[in-house]
Amino acid sequence: MNQKNNHSHTKTAVVTGGSRNIGFAIAEKFHELGYRVAILSVSGNSAQTAAEKLDATGKQVIGIQCDVTDEASVVAALEATQTQFGGIDIVVNSAGLLDMCSIEEMTADHWDNIMETNVRGTFTTVQKAIPYLEKSPAPRIINISSNAGRMGGFENGLAYSASKGAVIALTYGLARRLGDKKITVNCIAPGTIESDMSAARSEETQRKLKQRFPLGRFGTPEEVAAAACYFASDEAGFTTGSVLDVNGGLFMG
């Protein structure tokens, strides 16, 4: 296999929203697999702290401040990753905002804010990463959607459901368009995961939600990260345009 640098090919992954919850669990699993990882977070401090948790040396894991709603910020973060690690093989779009707003209270600004981060942020990161991914021997894009994007969700607001449905549609479109570049594009749709997001819900809401899952519990960030590891692997080279539901049976179909 052609190596694009003088290391035997060590994969480099960029994880947006990588400083906590699902994003951090993915960064951690990738690091365990020996990948080099750039953790991107809207807070530079969080990105740095998360990177140091995984790798105090700063050689294998770096933290970069990046606002996915700002094109220049995305471009700079990808350039910094390239400078540090010499290439990019995997991009995970985990940056996202949860929305719990009722239909009646939804404002145009709130709607736009959710869409800007969850949909446009995902698209911008992919668009700006393509020139790097094209040079990789096994390029991968992994988007994080949600069960809400599959079937509307139960407790979240509609901007969130719509944004996560859009991420799935974006995955399909990108998988078709980027196939000739040999870039695979896949998506994970988690059900409710034990996280800061789920902990923000009341105990009663959590109890009612758990009853809807055939497996009777929420998932863990590590279970979602395991799905990302599959999509990132060489063995997943023939898998593209796929949505993997990691949701305890909440949505099937």
Q: Residue 38's domain is classified under what CATH number?
A: 3.40.50.720
pTM of the entire predicted model: 0.95
Active-site residue set: 160
pLDDT of residue 206: 86
Residue 109 lies in a domain: yes
Residue 66 lies in a domain: yes
DSSP characters for 30-46? HHHTT-EEEEEESSHHH
Residue 158 lies in a domain: yes
Domain that holds residue 104: 12-242
The values of phi and psi at residue 32, to 5°, are -60, -30
| Residues whose CB falls within 8 Å of the CB of residue 238, separated by 6 or more in sequence, listed in order | none
Q: For the chain, 253 residues long, give each residue's pLDDT as a single digit of tens.
A: 343 443 468 999 999 999 999 999 999 999 999 999 999 999 999 999 999 999 999 999 999 999 999 999 999 999 999 999 999 999 999 999 999 999 999 999 999 999 999 999 999 999 999 999 999 999 999 999 999 999 998 889 999 999 999 999 999 999 999 999 999 999 999 999 997 667 777 888 888 889 999 999 999 999 999 999 999 999 999 999 999 999 999 999 8
Residue 103 lies in a domain: yes
pLDDT of residue 1: 39
Q: Where are the alpha helices (DSSP H) in the chain?
A: 21-32, 44-54, 71-85, 108-115, 121-133, 147-151, 158-178, 196-199, 203-212, 221-232
Token couple for 246? 């990691």
Residue 2 lies in a domain: no
pLDDT of residue 5: 42
Question: Whole-angstrom Cα distance, residue 175 to residue 67?
Answer: 24
Residue 236 lies in a domain: yes
Which amino acid is located at 58 in the chain?
G
Residue 95 lies in a domain: yes
Residue 101 lies in a domain: yes
> For the chain, what is the domain count?
1
